[in-house]
Amino acid sequence: MKSRNIKKYCKSSFEKIKSDFFLQKIFAYMKKNRSLDIMKPNKKLQKRLKLNINDYKEYSQLFTRIEIELKPLDKKYDVFINIPDEEKEYYHIYFDNSKEEIKRNKLNKKEKIKLIKIIIDYQVKSFKNLFSHLKCIDWITFKKFYRNNITDMSYMFAYCSKINEINLPSFNTDSVTNMSYMFYKCSSLKALNLSKFNTNNVTDMGCMFDYCSSLKELNLSNFNTNNVTDMSFMFDYCSSLEKINISNFNTNNVTIMRQMFHKCSSLKKLNYSNFHTNGITDINDIFRGCPSELKKKMKKELKL
């Protein structure tokens, strides 16, 4: 965007630049990632956009927003998000279409809530256990994910045994190093689109899909596993899994594959062209409980 054009928009007050259209113009002009760290040291740009960087809460919501929507189940009400006490001020929660922010993370039995909206400030850098052990959520959708400072997503959806759908159309995993137990025991989840996942920095994928017993197909062809060291129990007890694309998996740095495909009783084919097992220290029972034909073929060709 040309400088003279952006100046025209920059004459507006801070309150008038909240539209998505104007945000797009700003980000196009910046030609960089939508990150708070870009704006903070850039005093010239702050002045040009007439931003009060000290208005941190409003700024972080606007320019580095993570926005999540949850639909609770009708019959069961319980905890709908796990927020550490020291981070509660960075989570902004709204029920239905209300503009009134609430300061809690539990649902009462008398409440008839159709939708929960959560906005998370930039200070939060870990999503570990964020939705773990949820029993009252039907589906979760990540509407906006403008940040790349989240490093830990371990146990993020673990034990969400009632959840039917996790939508990740806008999801940023650029800085994540730990995805272990991320979808552990999501036993009602039947489909999962992970095409937006960037796993370049991930080192731990242990138990990532362990006990996802309703999943029938997983396409992980976009996964970069160059830095992964732990794949133990990764697809353990994925008993309905019939098709899995791991054709791009690089296992050069993996040391643990223990029970990686244990009890994948519906899996008949597996593309393992990039599998290397030379550096593996623990590969025990990797295909235990798999169909006998697949198990024999894999053991022979991988020389296990």
pLDDT at 86: 93
| 148, two tokens | 């790349």
pLDDT band of residue 301 (cuts 50, 70, 90) is confident
What mean pLDDT do residues 10-32 have?
48
The 3 state secondary structure assigned to the chain is CCHHHHHHHHCCCHHHCCCHHHHHHHHHHHCCCCCHHHHCCCHHHHHHHCCCCCCHHHHHHHHCCEEEEEEECCCCCCECCCCCHHHHHHEEEEECCCCCCECCCECCCCCCCCCEEEEECCCCCECCCCCCCCCCEEEEEEEEECCCCCCECCCCCCCCCCCCEEECCCCCCCCCCECCCCCCCCCCCCCCCCCCCCCCCCCECCCCCCCCCCCCEEECCCCCCCCCCECCCCCCCCCCCCEEECCCCCCCCCCECCCCCCCCCCCCCCCCCCCCCCCCCECCCCCCCCCHHHHHHHHHHCCC
pLDDT in tens, 262-279: 999 999 888 877 787 888
pLDDT in tens, 100-136: 999 999 998 888 899 999 999 888 999 999 999 998 9
What mean pLDDT do residues 144-153 have?
90
